[in-house]
Amino acid sequence: MPADNSNIKGSCIKSVCEFVKADAGEQKWQQIIEKLPALDRAAFFGVILPSKWYPIESYFNLLREIEKQIGGAARPDLGIEIGKKIIADGLNSFYRMMMGILNTSWILTKAPSLWKMYFDKETLTILHVSDGRLEVKIDTPLDPPKMYCCAVMGGILQALESSGGRQCRGQEVKCRANHEACCEYHLTWQMK
């Protein structure tokens, strides 16, 4: 699918940077950045500003390079780990407190508006939500790497866990990385 001018919030990229540095070290982060195309290198060199919008295609290239350098068959859950870090960092203490009080299903119905805080053009749609079950769809005319789709799954799982869900499980049943029209995730969980 063709590239477009979609953007992702810098807070997501900052979390990925921190994840890589904690997991593999500053030197590995620099090696990853050095392998990126020149425009992407320029975007991610130095301080990553949480409130700035960055091109999502540059983010996709970053994830592809992270996959090459620290992922692969030895780390099949790397994308999930990254997604969990992004959401854990994104939930400030107020949201964490509210997630501990409010009903998980109700919280999840608010996901599309929260999604827009991080992605300017992608759309998250709730297909079904009930106690212990969630189905969501994400679509835009983008061709993301599989690691991106796994990071989305990790983010959703982290949101479920943060809102009191236990034994959270998910499956991506449709995937844009497999040339399908959307990514669709089915998730289940148990309450405390």
Q: Where are the domains of the chain?
A: 7-75, 80-191
* pLDDT tens digits, one per residue of 39-75: 999 999 889 999 999 999 999 999 999 999 999 888 9
Asked whether the whole model's pTM tops 0.85, one would answer yes
Calculate the dihedral angle through the C-alpha atoms of 50, 56, 62, 68, rounding to the nearest 10 degrees.
Answer: 140
Out of 3.40.50.300, 3.20.20.190, 3.40.50.1370, 3.30.1380.20, select the CATH number for domain 80-191.
Answer: 3.30.1380.20
11 and 89 Cβ atoms separated by less than 8 Å: yes
- Say how far apart CA 91 and CA 94 lie, in whole Å: 8
Q: What is the pLDDT of residue 98?
A: 59
> Mean pLDDT over all residues of the chain?
89
pLDDT at 100 over 60: no
Taken in order 146, 108, 4, 20, the sign of the CA dihedral is: negative
- Say how far apart CA 190 and CA 66 lie, in whole Å: 33
- Say how far apart CA 10 and CA 142 lie, in whole Å: 19
- Say how far apart CA 145 and CA 168 lie, in whole Å: 24
- Say how far apart CA 89 and CA 86 lie, in whole Å: 5
